[in-house]
Amino acid sequence: MKPCHGHRALPDFLIIGAQKSATTSLLSYLGQHPGIRLPRKKATHYFDLNYSRGTAWYARHFPRTGGLFARLSPFASPFDRPWLTGESCPSYMFLAEVPHRVKATLPDVKIIVSLRDPVDRLISQFYHEHRKGRAAGGLESYIADSLQSDWPVSGGDIEKIRQRHAVPRGFYADQLEHWLDFFPKERFHLLRFDRLVNDPRTTLNQIFQFLDLPEHDVDTSQILNKGSKTDSGTANQELLSNLHELYRRKNAGLSKTFGTDFSW
């Protein structure tokens, strides 16, 4: 039975992260499948920033179920729609309060996670924030600001947490273990960012299989929300080596838990 609120669909799947791991492009690629209809925008930020607005507000972002006759007919069921919908919001994986909210609203949802080398992801996040004027210093000072931070990050301004706690956003194992407290492992599909880039056809068809959809050829020539470097400097090799070692320790159990090699 497909989730809905009134005659609006609710997500059958969520792309929950990680940030700067092609989540915008991934949702666009999935939307090319004839069995998927996309929401009005990529991320509603319902489960992190807008949860107080309620399910009716959330549902308004997603397609209507059936045509006009079906919506007016007392015999038509919105659960019978022949397509899927979903959204992509990479802060969902990072913020600890999100999984229980998702469980309460979408108890049967499927969860897709794209993971990137956490050091590359961190650097890409810095350039993203720098372009938006939210990282005034250089790369090294940006890293230093959150190098001692751990996960979960609780309390405070959620917007600042999303933007400033950059280092712990790469503690994927901690975040996904927390999600496993609310959803069984078979509800998750994890993919590697580099494999999406290098072999998009195979990677996307594996996702379609996970969503119980037939294979479909997708045009992946367009890359959305692609990052670009600025003139704000680079990190020294010792700092990068320390980061690689930190992430290696923090994510040591990830491959064993999910059966995919994440030894970047």
pTM, rounded to two decimals: 0.91
Burial class from Cβ neighbours inside 10 Å (0-12, 13-18, 19+) for residue 85 reads buried
What is the C-alpha to C-alpha distance for residues 19 and 80, in angstroms, rounded to an integer? Answer: 33
Domain residue extents for the chain: 4-258
pLDDT of 74 reads 47
pLDDT over threshold 50, residue 176: yes
Separation in Å, CA 93 to CA 86, 190, 194: 15, 12, 19
Closest CA to 188 of 207, 169, 170, 173: 207
The stretch 91-111 carries a mean pLDDT of 96
Phi and psi angles of residue 237, each rounded to the nearest 5 degrees, phi first: -65, -35
Per-residue pLDDT tens for 42-71? Answer: 899 999 999 999 999 999 999 999 754 344
**Spelled out in words, what is the top-level CATH class assigned to the domain 4-258?**
alpha beta
pLDDT of 79 reads 57
What is the C-alpha to C-alpha distance for residues 210 and 191, in angstroms, rounded to an integer? Answer: 12
135-171 in b/e burial notation, b at 16+ Cβ within 10 A?
A: beebbbebbeebeeeebebeeeeeeebbbbbbbbbbb
In this structure, the strands spanning 4-5 and 8-9 are: antiparallel
Per-residue pLDDT tens for 240-256? Answer: 999 999 999 999 999 99
Amino acid at 43: A
pLDDT of 230 reads 47
